[in-house]
Amino acid sequence: MKAVRELKAAFQKEGLNLPPSLVPFIDEGAHGMTEGKARFTVYQAMAKQILHVEQVIPFQPNVVLVYPSALLEYIRKKFGGQNSGGFGKGKHLVLATCSRLDGMAHFRSCRKSVLGNGPGWTSGSESDGEEDSAETIAEPDGVEVEAEQPDTLSDDDDGVLYQLNDVSPFFARNPDIKWERIPLDSGKTRTVNKMTGQPGVTPSARSRVVSLMDTFNLFFTPQVKDLIIRFTNEEGKTQYGDGWVKLDPVVLDAYLGILLLQGIMNDGTIPVCKLWSESEGKGVYRTCMSRERFTQITCSLRFDDKPSRGARVATNKMAHVQELFGLWSKALRENYLPYEFLCVDEQLFLFKGRCGFKQYIPTKPRSKTSYCCNIQLYTGKAPGGAAEKNQGQRVVLDLVEYLGNQSGRNVTTDNFFTSLTLGEALLKKKISLVGTMRKNRKEIPSAFLPSKSRAAFSSYFGHKPDFTLVSYVPKGKAVVLLSSMHFSQEVDEESPEEKPEIVTHYNRTKAGVDTLDQLTGNYSVRRKTCRWPMALLYDIVDISALNSYVVWIELNPDWHAKSLIRRRKYLHELSRNLMESHLRRRFTSASIPSDVKLLIKISLNILSDGKAESNSSVASGTKAQQRCRFCHHTTQKRSRINCGFCKVVVCADHRSSVQTVVCVVCAKTQNLLK
């Protein structure tokens, strides 16, 4: 059975899986099976995988085998045919066979003949010239009917007949929806894909950015800060009475700077008592703010009017943060106009405690930079209300509403959001859609669903005037995607996976929210808390810091362009700028201990130029010796040497260098501040 083994090789070359039931008679012989029947069995197995059918008519010598119209799509894809006008108006593609066929080469020639001949009936073969007859046609239900003989049969007809197909459509499980097998668009860029407006940082935002800290203030606007300060002072006065020191913008900036610095140094999980400890902590925290003050602010932070909250929570679960969230999300939209590709997905913010709603946030970042353009907090169904229908569609439409009706952008979504009705609604706004679909959507034809008989890396396409549906099989399971941006059946044939262009585009643009999660997680300011509004504030700070970095780099593309830790440097510089004003205020305060003032002076020196003042450590010989600042009063030594940073007198036992004299406290602090 050499010919059958050759048929097996050709079968596998077509990218189809050989059924286990066929392996014995191909590898070990037919066991009494005629060669014609063996070949026919292989053809049946191939038809099942190509056509997604479970039953093929049994072997009958000298009988024509009827294949459904799905085979024509396979033929067109394999050989590049696009014109449907020349395929006739029959209901089936008829492939003649008999007790003797000429293997896979014959099957290929049949496909080529379909594309190479005109409308109506045609014939063709690359057989060895032996005449095969085909006198009856077997319908799928096994009923044999007399075959009509066409008037246009060629003289070299060898008995293999083809009745060409008019490419019948795929019908979805919703009978009102059908998908054509042939692209209905010319492939030119439609108006919906032509972006309008100048993307990037808006002119208003550009005019307000002078320094690095200005980019952060684009999102933590004066209105946002005033709201936090007003309600926090009310809560602080209630909790601590006369022990509460009024919060102002300078102190709030310093508090945010400490949070950012903790994120850079991964100190978010370290207890506050250790961070401020003189033996285990880091001097920069003690320099900026006392531990007690930091704890008071953290416990007192509020974002709404507490006395009236009870009435508002009855109808609005996010009443605690509604006003703050509204002001902040408005700033996200006003300062940046996204580029052509957007991504809508859910973002989890971590919290473990009492909360009246599910904890995820649908966000819409730009795919390339992961700038968060818009955001919406999901709080579940209204108290006592029914579950929301078409929630995914409503969320996407809400998030893109601010783009207007002439956007020309594309939105990538996952299967929670994607639907045909969403795509139609977005097209009215000149926005295209690409996304995966859930298998239970009624817009999907049954042939597009997962099937064990489908070959790996195979694709089915369905077309409507404004949409393309594709079913792609990567590894034993079908992935269904909907696109109003693509209209062809383009497949990357150079890749072994043969991915459709729709799948490639989805993979390229779907990770916007995931990238945002990763970037904010790397330097997150998040700390353990039992209040969900505080958990949300940490998320707001993280996203604001990332967005401000995107704005700064777009306005200053050469800033540390070659650095591998560019964003870390930005966050470090931002945290210092936020703390600087408060450091200078504390340095002039009479109530600050002298050792803390030494640390502040060091910090201010580092903030200004990163170096100690010019070293005049060794005093002139005429200067009188003074007592060492660090010796015990019973054994205090005298010296003419001053610390290069804080200028206090130090003896030889309490200096860390001879060339540049630094006292032991400054040396320790200097190391901690690097």
The string of DSSP letters for 151-214 reads: TT--TT--S-EEE-B--PPEEBSSTT-EEBSS--S--PPPGGGS--S--EE-HHHHHH-SSHHH
Please check whether residues 360 and 484 belong to one and the same domain.
yes
Please check whether residues 502 and 536 belong to one and the same domain.
no
In a domain, 648, yes or no: yes
Residue 605 has pLDDT above 50, yes or no: yes
CA dist 218 and 646 (Å) reads 37
Better pLDDT: 11 or 53: 11
Residue 604 has pLDDT above 60, yes or no: yes
What residue numbers bound the domain in which 507 lies?
339-515
Q: What is the rounded average pLDDT of the residues 375-390? A: 73
Q: What is the rounded average pLDDT of the residues 577-587? A: 92
Please check whether residues 29 and 112 belong to one and the same domain.
yes
Please check whether residues 288 and 361 belong to one and the same domain.
no
Please check whether residues 472 and 559 belong to one and the same domain.
no
CA dist 240 and 234 (Å) reads 10
| pTM for the whole structure | 0.66
Report the percent of the chain where pLDDT is more than 90: 30
In a domain, 118, yes or no: yes
Is there a contact between 137 and 145 (Cβ–Cβ < 8 Å)? yes
Given this model, what pLDDT does residue 132 score? Answer: 36
In a domain, 173, yes or no: no
Please check whether residues 230 and 347 belong to one and the same domain.
no
In a domain, 282, yes or no: yes
In a domain, 315, yes or no: no
Confidence of residue 520 (pLDDT cuts 50, 70, 90): confident
In a domain, 291, yes or no: yes
Which of 101, 135, 167 lies at the terminal end of a domain, its last residue?
A: 167
In a domain, 191, yes or no: no
How many other CB atoms are there within 10 angstroms of residue 31's CB atom?
9
351 Rama class: left (phi>0) / alpha (psi -120 to 50) / beta: beta
Given this model, what pLDDT does residue 454 score? Answer: 84
- The set of residues, in sequence order, having a beta carbon less than 8 Å from that of 426 and lying 6+ positions away, is 396, 397, 400, 411, 432, 433, 484
Residue recorded with tokens 């030594």: 637
What are the C-alpha distances in Å from 27 to residues 11, 43, 274, 492, 566?
14, 17, 73, 34, 61
Is there a contact between 250 and 588 (Cβ–Cβ < 8 Å)? no
Given this model, what pLDDT does residue 566 score? Answer: 94
Q: What is the rounded average pLDDT of the residues 19-48? A: 55
Q: What is the rounded average pLDDT of the residues 498-525? A: 84
Please check whether residues 542 and 652 belong to one and the same domain.
no
Which of 515, 541, 570 lies at the terminal end of a domain, its last residue?
A: 515
Report the percent of the chain where pLDDT is more than 70: 63
CA dist 587 and 579 (Å) reads 12
Please check whether residues 392 and 494 belong to one and the same domain.
yes
CA dist 377 and 416 (Å) reads 16
Given this model, what pLDDT does residue 632 score? Answer: 79
Of the listed ranges 28-32, 62-66, 405-409, 548-552, the one predicted with least confidence: 62-66
CA dist 373 and 398 (Å) reads 12
How many other CB atoms are there within 10 angstroms of residue 285's CB atom?
22
Of the listed ranges 414-423, 501-510, 607-616, the one predicted with least confidence: 607-616
Please check whether residues 635 and 563 belong to one and the same domain.
no
Most confident of 19-28, 100-109, 453-462, 557-566: 557-566
Given this model, what pLDDT does residue 183 score? Answer: 81
Please check whether residues 405 and 554 belong to one and the same domain.
no
Single out the residue of 65, 5, 67 nearest to residue 35, CA to CA.
5
Which of 515, 543, 573 lies at the terminal end of a domain, its last residue?
A: 515
Better pLDDT: 659 or 267: 267
Confidence of residue 229 (pLDDT cuts 50, 70, 90): very high
Q: What is the rounded average pLDDT of the residues 635-656? A: 78
Of the listed ranges 111-115, 224-228, 269-273, 608-612, the one predicted with least confidence: 111-115
Is there a contact between 502 and 469 (Cβ–Cβ < 8 Å)? no
Single out the residue of 343, 408, 363 nearest to residue 198, CA to CA.
408
In a domain, 333, yes or no: no
CA dist 103 and 388 (Å) reads 58
How many domains does the structure of the chain reveal? 4
Better pLDDT: 631 or 329: 329
Of the listed ranges 230-234, 518-522, 560-564, the one predicted with least confidence: 518-522
Please check whether residues 401 and 435 belong to one and the same domain.
yes
166's tokens: 């008019």
Report the chain's mean pLDDT, rounded to a whole number.
Answer: 73
Residue 272 has pLDDT above 80, yes or no: yes
Please check whether residues 507 and 551 belong to one and the same domain.
no
